[in-house]
């Protein structure tokens, strides 16, 4: 027991602090941004410095369709979270599943691009500097998409078993912050790899 | 009081296995704080043994106490151990234990993340020390990592580092890095979201402010290190070329990535040391801290400036004149907010009724030594001076002045100040003073005289040297200092163990202090506070003890 016990003040009920989940997720996004920044800097620094081929211009094609899929998933997850906050569970379920499908389509796009690069073009992570920086930057992003999909699928499992309720809306909103972040990172990666990297 | 002692006797009545199981599965911030600190103390002894081996080797010219290979492993393991597995866990341990108590919270914001972070850090330490056994791998070459604590390329390439020792080093830093980022996230969320009613940002104890800035600095600091470790793993395991100059890669970019982490890391470690001093000095001067708002602003300024000084570690690499000038100026600029802090601590002591108990002795030693460390820092910040002395023992002396003379002294002070709260028993004051004087004398013998062979041209990391270069006597004195430091640390560890069982009972508030942790019992109950406290000023406990003259009238 406290030796000096302290009473609540009159204004204690007015005491408001930021929600910890949101602050925690912002900090995680900050740390992840640091990691991505270093990989992006390495990619830009090493652009055009490969001593052997293939060079980016020879083999890379911008994955426009899959990019649209990933960006669209940001819209669908937003609609899903709005749905659960308004207690429209059916609408939540539809948009949530749509988000998972769009994210999975994006990953499929990355997989097809890698299969093409490895088996048709002969570019692996150890072929040259371009291969090293390309696979690690795009792979790091794909890893984050995979982690996000895993989390989204767990939520979907809870939804279909009927355990998900309206009071979980806050948590899903925090998860959607992560998903938006992964999308935003793709905008940067796309710009670096398929716009700046190809124009040099 | 009676409830907590009842809980304690119940806990002690349980069988040993159950009690150990309780420690392994705990998510309590106080127990995790203690785990961090005990873990760091074990590594402090290991890192100390490694330092001692180096100093024995260098005590006279042409010594052959250890082979050059073993010497390389010793300085690598010493540096890595002391930074990542002593200093970091110590500051995280104290932050973990004290921040929730000081802000009147029940626990950290994410208790399970807290446990995860600790065990990731613990795994990192295991990786590092397992390399002594497993570093040979299938090749029969290697042993512990021997690439230096900043592991410059191409030393870390497969060609030059056969076996798995460098892999263990990388994995160890990567997993402890995840732990550090987790703890930083947790500290920020705790401080921003868990404060007791009335404790606005401007009323938080300076300890909490400094740890908030420290945690905010960990996030942009440790993440580049983790990214660089991932790249090194890609190079070593998947045949990548990030740092492979043969294939167009760059060794210099590793230096940038490492020091973007490496320099803010110094401030990650020194800000918590400032935090200890900012609590201890006012209590033992019997005055409120001088210039609280300025202290906060200076801390935030240090946080920002520290992220733009890293390349002062790289003046000898051959950067452009513009880059050199920028990093000279930014490095010198950081001396300004740091100097402001020293004046604030001095002004806090000025006119106070100073009690020279052991915590205060260590803090006064810190003030004096940190000033000298800062002065040699300003000297090394001048690029031409650095060209002459980079990679010499002058630099080694400079950063040990910061890490030992400032950070470790404050940590020792913190042990004497807060361990009565943790264990409920006072540390012995006479042994404490003996510890202080032994360590103080040893520190100055070792690190004052280490500057001189550096100026005379002795490079760091050499395993031996020729006689007759004027280095012999200085190295002898430096090595003799180690005996005093080791004796001091042994007295300290003995004092910790002895007082745990036989120490004088501390009571709730042995130092007549003013922050909230002293309002609960020692050790605090699992729930910290039976009734949530409220804070109306920066010294809530002063207000309680002096209802006739509370601080909030003046703030």
Question: Got the DSSP string for B375-403?
Answer: HHHHHHHSHHHHHHHTTBHHHHHHHHIII
Question: What is the model's pLDDT at position B14?
Answer: 81
Q: Is A120 exposed, middle or buried (CB count within 10 Å of its CB: 0-12, 13-18, 19+)? A: exposed
Is B124 touching A (CB cutoff 8 A)? Answer: no
Q: Does B184 touch chain A (CB under 8 A)?
A: yes
Provide the domain limits for residue A28.
21-199
Which tens digits make up the pLDDT trace of A122-167? 999 999 999 999 999 999 999 999 999 999 999 999 999 999 999 9
Cα–chain center distance at B126: 19
Give the phi and the psi of residue A134 in degrees, each rounded to 5: -65, -55
Cβ atoms of B222 and B177 closer than 8 Å: yes
Nearest to B541 by CA among B511, B519, B509: B519
Cβ of B219 within 8 Å of Cβ of A1? The answer is no
Rounded mean pLDDT of chain B? 93
Does some domain include residue A95?
Answer: yes
pLDDT of residue B411: 97
Percent pLDDT > 90 in chain A is 87
A contacts of B231 (beta carbons < 8 Å): 38-39, 42, 136
Question: Residue A15 domain-assigned?
Answer: no
* CATH of B3-553 given 1.10.760.10, 1.20.210.10, 1.10.10.10, 3.10.50.40: 1.20.210.10
Structure tokens at A196: 């700046």
Cβ of residue A30 closer than 8 Å to a chain B Cβ: yes
pLDDT score at B10: 52
Contact A1 B525 (CB under 8 A): yes
Interchain CB contact of A126 with B (< 8 Å): yes
For residue A54, whether the previous peptide bond is cis, meaning omega lies within 30 degrees of 0, is yes
pLDDT at res. A12? 60
Asked if the C-beta of B185 comes within 8 angstroms of chain A's C-beta atoms, the answer is yes
Contact B240, B231 (CB under 8 A): yes
| B137 pLDDT above the threshold of 90 | no
Return the residue in B3, B193, B526 with the most chain A beta carbons within 10 A, the one to mutate for interface testing: B193
A43 touching B, CB under 8 A? Answer: no
Higher pLDDT, B553 or B388: B388
Q: What's the pLDDT score for residue A3?
A: 39
B416 to chain A, closest Cα gap in Å: 22
Q: Report percent pLDDT > 70 for chain B.
A: 96
Per the CB < 8 A criterion, the answer to whether B338 and B375 are in contact is: no
Residue range B515-523: mean pLDDT, rounded: 94
User: Cα–Cα distance between B167 and B130 in angstroms, integer?
Assistant: 11
Residue B509's pLDDT band, with cuts at 50, 70 and 90, is very high
Q: Do A31 and B2 touch (CB under 8 A)?
A: no
Omega prior to B154 cis, within 30 of 0: yes
What pLDDT, on the 0 to 100 scale, is given for residue A53?
83
Reported as a single tens digit per residue, the pLDDT across B295-309 is: 999 999 999 999 999
Counting every residue, how long is chain B? 555
User: Rounded CA gap, B301 and B267, in Å?
Assistant: 11
Q: What is the pLDDT of residue A14?
A: 78
Please report residues of A whose CB lies closer than 8 A to that of B541.
4
Give the H or E element holding residue B277: helix B251-285
Residue A78, in any domain of the structure:
yes
What pLDDT, on the 0 to 100 scale, is given for residue A11?
56
What is the arithmetic mean of pLDDT over A109-134?
A: 96
Determine contact: A110 vs chain B, CB below 8 A. Answer: no
Q: How far apart are CA B73 and CA B165, in angstroms?
A: 10
Q: What is the ipTM of this complex?
A: 0.93
Whole-prediction pTM value? Answer: 0.94
pLDDT of residue B11: 53
- Phi, psi (5° rounding) for residue A41? -60, -45
Query: CA-nearest residue of chain A to B190?
Result: A20
Q: Mean pLDDT lowest for which of A154-168, B119-133, B140-154, B303-317?
A: B140-154
Q: In terms of CA atoms, which chain B residue is nearest residue A52?
A: B247
Mean pLDDT computed over every residue of chain A: 92
Query: Do B276 and B363 meet the contact criterion of CB atoms below 8 Å apart?
Result: yes
Give the pLDDT band of residue B316 (cuts 50, 70, 90). very high
Q: Which residues of A touch B250 (CB under 8 A)?
A: 45-46
Q: Where are the alpha helices (DSSP H) in B58-151?
A: 68-80, 88-102, 111-134
Helix or strand holding residue B29 (H, E): helix B29-57
* Rounded percentage of chain B residues whose pLDDT exceeds 90: 89
What is the rounded CA–CA span in Å between residue B482 and residue B446? 7
What CATH number did the domain enclosing A171 receive? 1.20.120.80
Chain A residues touching residue B224 (CB < 8 angstroms):
34-35, 37-38
Q: Which residue of chain A is at minimal alpha-carbon distance from B219?
A: A31
Contact A50 B193 (CB under 8 A): no
State both tokens at A180: 């938006």
pLDDT tens string A47-90: 989 998 899 989 999 999 999 999 999 999 999 999 999 999 99
Return the exposure string of B355-365: e unless at least 16 CB atoms fall within 10 Å of the residue's CB, then b: eebbbbbbbbb
State how many domains chain A has: 1
Higher pLDDT, B180 or A200: B180
CA angle B256, B261, B263 (to 5 degrees): 90
**B122-131, B133-142, B155-164: which range is least confident on average?**
B133-142
If you count residue pairs, one on A and one on B, with CB atoms under 8 Å apart, how many are there?
Answer: 160
User: Is position A6 within any domain?
Assistant: no
A49 at B interface, C-beta within 8 A? yes
Instruction: With respect to residue A68, please indicate whether it lies within any of the assigned structural domains.
Output: yes
What residue segments make up the domains of chain B, in order of their start? 3-553
Alpha helices in B286-428 (DSSP H): 292-305, 321-333, 335-349, 358-381, 383-389, 393-400, 409-423
Distances (CA, A) of B215 to B30, B138, B191, B208, B538: 18, 40, 10, 10, 21
Distance from CA of B540 to the nearest CA of A (A): 10
A143–B contact, CB cutoff 8 A: no
From the CA of A23, how many Å to the nearest CA of chain B?
Answer: 6
| pLDDT value, residue A4 | 42
Contact by Cβ (8 Å): B436, B411: no
CA distance B134 to B140: 10
Of B178, B195, B173, B206, the residue nearest B273 (C-alpha): B206
A46, B249: Cβ pair inside 8 Å? yes
Tell me the chain B residues in contact with residue A129 when contact means C-beta distances shorter than 8 Å. 241, 247-249
Place of tokens 């000898």: B316
Contact B192, A17 (CB under 8 A): yes
């Amino acid at each position: 027991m406290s030796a000096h016990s302290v009473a609540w003040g009159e204004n204690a009920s007015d005491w408001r602090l930021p929600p910890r989940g949101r602050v925690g997720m912002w900090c995680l996004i900050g740390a992840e941004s640091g990691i991505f920044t270093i990989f992006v800097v390495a990619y830009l620094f090493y652009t055009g410095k490969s001593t052997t081929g293939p060079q980016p211009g020879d083999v890379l094609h911008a994955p426009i369709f899959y990019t649209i899929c990933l960006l669209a998933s940001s819209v669908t997850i937003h609609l899903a979270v709005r749905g659960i906050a308004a207690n429209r569970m059916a609408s939540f379920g539809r948009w949530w599943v749509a988000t998972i499908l769009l994210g999975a389509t994006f990953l499929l796009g990355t997989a097809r691009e890698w299969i093409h690069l490895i088996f048709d073009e002969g570019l692996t992570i150890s072929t040259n500097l371009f291969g090293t920086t390309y696979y690690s930057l795009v792979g790091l992003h794909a890893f984050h998409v995979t982690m996000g999909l895993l989390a989204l699928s767990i939520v979907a499992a809870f939804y279909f078993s009927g355990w998900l309720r309206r009071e979980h809306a806050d948590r899903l909103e925090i998860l959607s912050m992560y998903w938006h972040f992964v999308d935003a990172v793709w905008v940067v990666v796309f710009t670096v790899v398929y716009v700046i990297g190809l124009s040099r | 009081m009676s409830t907590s002692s009842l809980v304690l006797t119940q806990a002690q009545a349980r069988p040993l296995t159950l009690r150990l199981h309780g420690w392994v599965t705990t998510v309590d911030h106080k127990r995790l704080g203690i785990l961090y600190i005990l873990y760091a103390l074990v590594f402090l002894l290991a890192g100390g043994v490694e330092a001692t081996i180096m100093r024995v080797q260098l005590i006279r010219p042409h010594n052959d106490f250890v082979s050059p290979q073993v010497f390389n492993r010793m300085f690598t393991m010493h540096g890595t151990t002391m930074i990542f597995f002593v200093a970091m866990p110590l500051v995280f341990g104290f932050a973990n234990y004290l921040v929730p108590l000081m802000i009147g919270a029940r626990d950290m914001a994410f208790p399970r993340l807290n446990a995860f972070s600790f065990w990731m850090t613990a795994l990192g330490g295991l990786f590092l020390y397992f390399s002594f056994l497993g570093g040979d791998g299938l090749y029969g070459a290697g042993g512990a990592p021997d690439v230096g604590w900043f592991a410059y390329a191409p030393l870390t390439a497969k060609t030059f580092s056969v076996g798995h020792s460098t892999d263990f080093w990388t994995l160890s830093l990567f997993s402890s890095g995840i732990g550090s980022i987790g703890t930083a996230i947790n500290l920020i969320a705790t401080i921003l979201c868990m404060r007791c009613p009335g404790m606005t940002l401007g009323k938080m104890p300076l300890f909490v402010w400094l740890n908030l800035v420290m945690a905010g600095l960990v996030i942009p600091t440790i993440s580049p290190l983790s990214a660089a470790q991932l790249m090194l793993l890609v190079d070593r395991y998947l045949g990548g070329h990030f740092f492979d100059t043969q294939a167009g890669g760059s060794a210099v970019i590793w230096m940038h990535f490492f020091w973007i982490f490496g320099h803010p890391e110094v401030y990650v470690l020194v800000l918590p040391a400032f935090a200890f001093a900012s609590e201890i000095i006012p209590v033992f001067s019997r005055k409120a801290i001088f210039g609280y708002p300025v202290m906060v602003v200076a801390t935030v300024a240090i946080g920002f400036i520290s992220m733009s000084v890293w390349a002062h570690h790289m003046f000898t690499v051959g950067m452009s004149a513009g880059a050199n000038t920028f990093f000279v100026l930014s490095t010198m600029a950081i001396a300004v907010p740091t100097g402001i802090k020293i004046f604030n601590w001095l002004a806090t002591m000025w006119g106070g009724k100073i009690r020279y108990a052991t915590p205060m002795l260590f803090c006064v030693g810190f003030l004096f030594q940190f000033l000298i460390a800062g002065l040699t820092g300003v000297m090394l910040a001048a690029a031409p001076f650095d060209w002459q002395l980079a990679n010499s023992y002058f630099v080694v002396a400079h950063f040990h002045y910061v890490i030992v003379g400032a950070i470790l002294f404050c940590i020792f002070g913190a042990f004497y100040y807060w361990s009565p709260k943790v264990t409920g028993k006072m540390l012995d004051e006479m042994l404490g003073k003996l510890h202080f004087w032994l360590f103080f004398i040893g520190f100055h013998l070792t690190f004052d005289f280490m500057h001189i062979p550096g100026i005379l041209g002795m490079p760091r990391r050499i395993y031996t040297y020729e006689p007759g270069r004027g280095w012999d006597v200085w190295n002898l004195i430096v090595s003799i200092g180690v005996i005093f430091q080791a004796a001091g640390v042994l007295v300290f560890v003995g004092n910790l163990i002895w007082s745990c069982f036989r120490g004088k009972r501390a009571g709730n508030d042995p130092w007549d202090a003013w922050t909230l942790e002293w309002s609960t019992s020692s050790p605090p109950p699992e729930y910290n506070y039976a009734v949530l406290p409220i804070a109306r000023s920066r010294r809530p406990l002063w207000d309680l003890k002096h209802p006739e003259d509370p601080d909030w009238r003046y703030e």
